[in-house]
Structure 1
Amino acid sequence: MTTNRAVGLARKGEGPQRATLLELLLDLVFVAALALTSPTLARNLDWGGIFQTLVLLMAIWWVWSVTALATDLYHPQRPPIFLMTLWVMLGTILMAAALPAAFSDHAMVFVGAYVAIHVGRGVFLASALHGRMAQLHAMRFIFWFVVSAVPWLTGGLVEGTARGLLWSAALAIDYGTAWRRYPTPRLGRVPTSQYEVAADHLAERYQQFFTLALGDLILVTTLIYADNEFTAGRTGALLVAVATTVLLWQIYVHRAGALLQAAIESSHDPGRFVRSAPYTHLLMVAGVVAAAAGFEIVIAHPTEDTTPGLVGVVLGGPALFLAGRARFEYEVFSRVSPSRLVGLLVLAVAAPAMVLVPPLVVAVVGTLVLAGIAVADAVRAHGGPPEPPSPAL
């Protein structure tokens, strides 16, 4: 009977493969989280602010990616998984609300919600999945998230550099143990067979989240434009932001993004592909968040002085995206288009001189680099048959 209960929760080939409305509702909470992350970065464009924003973004991203995998393995329509998803939603709302002051007054709210989400998710799964193998899977999650809870919660109680170091250590545990398949004393690692997923569902979920990140870029730029006097410079900056959004989307979906499902299905080790996807997409999402922070400043002050920090997010955002996209392309096709590497090189070479020009010009440079890559993609694809995936994993 317990085995039947576990099987009844698990997705199989005959189960629903598209994202459910509940999952899309959950995503709306992450829209709020991203919408608070990029302005937080825009207000703290120094090394400390960049580091803190990265830590917060990685925490938010890990909540989503682990939940996406859970709802890929198990039906969200089943009552235990439905309740688990609502639990994650509530915790993420608290994390998002605490995010702007997570390194000051609201540290314990942020980390308390984060720890409760992950440990609570494991408890939901362990209590619902009574089949031995599935339950052991959940127990490994619980063990490692309890371990990482120590530096998370300790970091919430201290201040300054110690908090950042402890939270970085906690993230290293969370990300590192996931990549290593949660090696747990006496239980061992999660078997690779338990990473069998509905490829179309998981591919769709990552595509949806990247689209949500682009939605944050549109939302932030529109709001900052509406909050300021409409001038030619600000209107030009808004148009550049829209062009950047479209180009990021086009470069993402070009072949590799559109073939993620086929790549997972044709991989000789789908489990490794599934474990790699969160890290690859984190780079691309971080790039979009950085670009959104940059455009918030560019639109508000298109012709004022340019600081090194502003250059870092306006050009660093596209650079992070291209780095993630290059890795993504390698995972799908076992090769990287030269245009990605050329684009990264151009951004790196141009960056030092950008402090001499207005912010709007810096944004235009980043957009032109992305446009060049999109054109190179179109030329390379023109007239040839669609390239089938050849996964490196």
Structure 2
Amino acid sequence: MTESAAAPPAESGIRVSTLELFFDLVFVFTVTQLTWTLAEDVTLAALADVLLMLFVIWWMYSGYAWLTNAVAPDSSTRRTLLLAGMAGFLVMALAVPESFGEYGWLFGVSYLVVNLVHSALFLHAGAGSRQAAKQLAPLNILAAVLVLAGGLLPEPYRHLCWIAAPLVQITAGHVHNLELHQIRAGHFVERHGLVMIVAIGESIVAIGLGFRDVRLDQGTIPVAVLGLCIAYYLWWIYFAGDDQRSEHVLARTTDPRRRARLAVDGWGYAHYVMVLGIVVLAAGIKKTVGHAFEPLHWGEAIAVGGGVALYQVGHAAFLLRLGLQGWAHRAVAALVVLATIPLGHVLAVGQLAAIPLIMAAAAIIEDLPGVRRAGGSTAISDFGRTPGS
């Protein structure tokens, strides 16, 4: 029996709470703020700052996803602490546009609060999770202190601290004992799926806000419709069955350390790339509002095509890491989408129309008999073994 045909274990029946979804809505506001920040200055320097901010933000979002996977927010104390964490994310989001300027200190203080609350909540988890937190929390807090220092110090120390923070977090993900984490696959996959659909939806909101004070006519309506079409295919890529197949893989990986490593690589790093793609794409499309029948600057055309390509590459890495078929389709489609960048430099609406056509063609090809990912996982992850072997 293939993994896609078999029923997932009983643990997949554990559902994400409405409070967790509320938390995700607050978190996604940071994605909106990053989109607007990049749209204001579509340059490599601005992109580098967004890369750093999104990494540290996504790291702690993932930390809270792991947290509520280990301990449900089902008491007044836990809910109050989770509210404090939400407040930290909200203030961070408000400070995002000036995180490397006037409000760097505010971003840093809020980020430190988010980390401290996360550590405090893990004290209410099981014995294994508490032990893991004792190893992980000091490094997380060190990263938060570096972010705070980056908000207080002048250049070049500011960026040096910001670069050091993700490096500390990546190290933390490798040096602490992953076997101490017990991951409930169904809840874990559902939580990340929900935040992805919210992030995709929020990208539409971010684009829509760009229509304020813009006349609705033949030069603006196509941007809105084509932006929606692109967002639809982002949804299709993630939710056309691979979300369910990924849950099967994670649920059937019985070794705790390997399951946790799959979670870090697949739902941590690969999802970071996908969320980054959403941010870059939304920023690029926002710049086309009111300029559909004009050429885009190179940076804007690269943002539109590169954002979609980043999303596809992130999903390809996700499938590859979990040993699921279909990653090659994503990689090829990403390359084809990148080929639309010169078209955008000629005519914005031409690029916006070409991208959903390419994505639709990729979807049709994958649905052809003998091509569609019909068989679950391939034996390519972890040195040729299927996860859980």
Q: TM-score per shorter chain, which class?
A: 0.7 to 0.9
- Structure 1 residue corresponding to 2:146, chosen from 140, 143, 151: 151
Residue 170 (structure 1) shift: 0.4
Output the CA distance in 2 between the equivalents of 1:139 and 1:120. 14
Residue 291 (structure 1) shift: 1.1
Map residues 14-25 of structure 1 onto 2, 5 A cutoff.
Answer: 17-25=14-22
Structure 2's unaligned 5+ residue stretches are 1-9, 382-386
String of CA shifts for 1:133-180, please: whole Å, max 9, x gaps.
4432222222112322342222111234432232121012113312x0
RMSD: 2.4
AA aligned to 2:18 is: L
String of CA shifts for 1:353-372, please: whole Å, max 9, x gaps.
23641222222232222222
Give the TM-score of the pair, scaled to structure 2.
0.87
The alpha-carbon distance between structure 1 residues 59 and 14, as it changes in their structure 2 partners (threshold 3 A), is: closer
Q: Is the 8 A contact 2:105 2:148 kept in 1?
A: yes
Output the CA distance in 2 between the equivalents of 1:376 and 1:49. 37
- The residue number in structure 2 matching 1:243 is 229
- The residue number in structure 1 matching 2:56 is 59
Ranges of 4+ aligned residues in structure 1 off by more than 6 Å: 13-16
Structure 1's unaligned 5+ residue stretches are 1-12, 184-188
Output the CA distance in 1 between the equivalents of 2:126 and 2:238. 40
Output the CA distance in 2 between the equivalents of 1:84 and 1:380. 51
String of CA shifts for 1:240-274, please: whole Å, max 9, x gaps.
10100111101111232232221211235312211
AA aligned to 1:119 is: L
Map residues 248-287 of structure 1 onto 2, 5 A cutoff.
Answer: 248-267=234-253, 269-276=258-265, 277-287=267-277
**Matching of residue 362 in structure 1 with residue 351 in structure 2:** yes
Residue 309 (structure 1) shift: 0.9
Output the CA distance in 2 between the equivalents of 1:303 and 1:130. 58
Q: Is the 8 A contact 1:256 1:328 kept in 2?
A: no
- The residue number in structure 2 matching 1:209 is 195
Residue 329 (structure 1) shift: 1.6
The alpha-carbon distance between structure 1 residues 129 and 255, as it changes in their structure 2 partners (threshold 3 A), is: closer
- The residue number in structure 2 matching 1:177 is 172
- The residue number in structure 2 matching 1:140 is 135
Output the CA distance in 1 between the equivalents of 2:369 and 2:76. 48
> Which one scores higher on RCO, CA 8 angstroms, separation ≥ 6?
2
- The residue number in structure 2 matching 1:10 is none
Q: Is the 8 A contact 2:63 2:118 kept in 1?
A: no
**Matching of residue 319 in structure 1 with residue 309 in structure 2:** yes
Q: Is the 8 A contact 1:216 1:292 kept in 2?
A: no
**More displaced stretch, 372-381 vs 238-247:** 372-381
Residue 80 (structure 1) shift: 4.0
- The residue number in structure 2 matching 1:8 is none
- Structure 2 residue corresponding to 1:38, chosen from 15, 35, 38: 35
Residue 31 (structure 1) shift: 2.9
3-state DSSP class of the match of 2:101?
coil
Map residues 301-340 of structure 1 onto 2, 5 A cutoff.
Answer: 301-340=291-330
- The residue number in structure 2 matching 1:294 is 284
Residue 14 (structure 1) shift: 7.4
**Matching of residue 96 in structure 1 with residue 96 in structure 2:** no
Q: Is the 8 A contact 1:151 1:167 kept in 2?
A: yes
Q: Is the 8 A contact 2:333 2:359 kept in 1?
A: yes
**Matching of residue 167 in structure 1 with residue 162 in structure 2:** yes
Output the CA distance in 1 between the equivalents of 2:112 and 2:250. 30
Q: Is the 8 A contact 1:322 1:344 kept in 2?
A: yes
Output the CA distance in 2 between the equivalents of 1:239 and 1:363. 10
The alpha-carbon distance between structure 1 residues 39 and 111, as it changes in their structure 2 partners (threshold 3 A), is: same
Output the CA distance in 2 between the equivalents of 1:106 and 1:380. 55
Map residues 45-124 of structure 1 onto 2, 5 A cutoff.
Answer: 45-124=42-121
Residue 52 (structure 1) shift: 1.0
**More displaced stretch, 100-109 vs 71-80:** 71-80
Give the TM-score of the pair, scaled to structure 1.
0.87
**More displaced stretch, 35-44 vs 54-63:** 54-63
3-state DSSP class of the match of 1:259?
helix
Identity %: 24
AA aligned to 1:247 is: Y
Residue 16 (structure 1) shift: 7.3
Q: Is the 8 A contact 1:286 1:317 kept in 2?
A: yes
Residue 283 (structure 1) shift: 0.9
AA aligned to 1:203 is: V
AA aligned to 1:96 is: A
Residue 284 (structure 1) shift: 0.9
Give the length in aligned residue pairs: 369
AA aligned to 1:176 is: T
Q: Is the 8 A contact 1:262 1:389 kept in 2?
A: no
Residue 331 (structure 1) shift: 2.8
The alpha-carbon distance between structure 1 residues 368 and 190, as it changes in their structure 2 partners (threshold 3 A), is: same
The alpha-carbon distance between structure 1 residues 381 and 92, as it changes in their structure 2 partners (threshold 3 A), is: farther
String of CA shifts for 1:195-231, please: whole Å, max 9, x gaps.
2211110000110011011111211222223431011
Output the CA distance in 2 between the equivalents of 1:57 and 1:227. 29
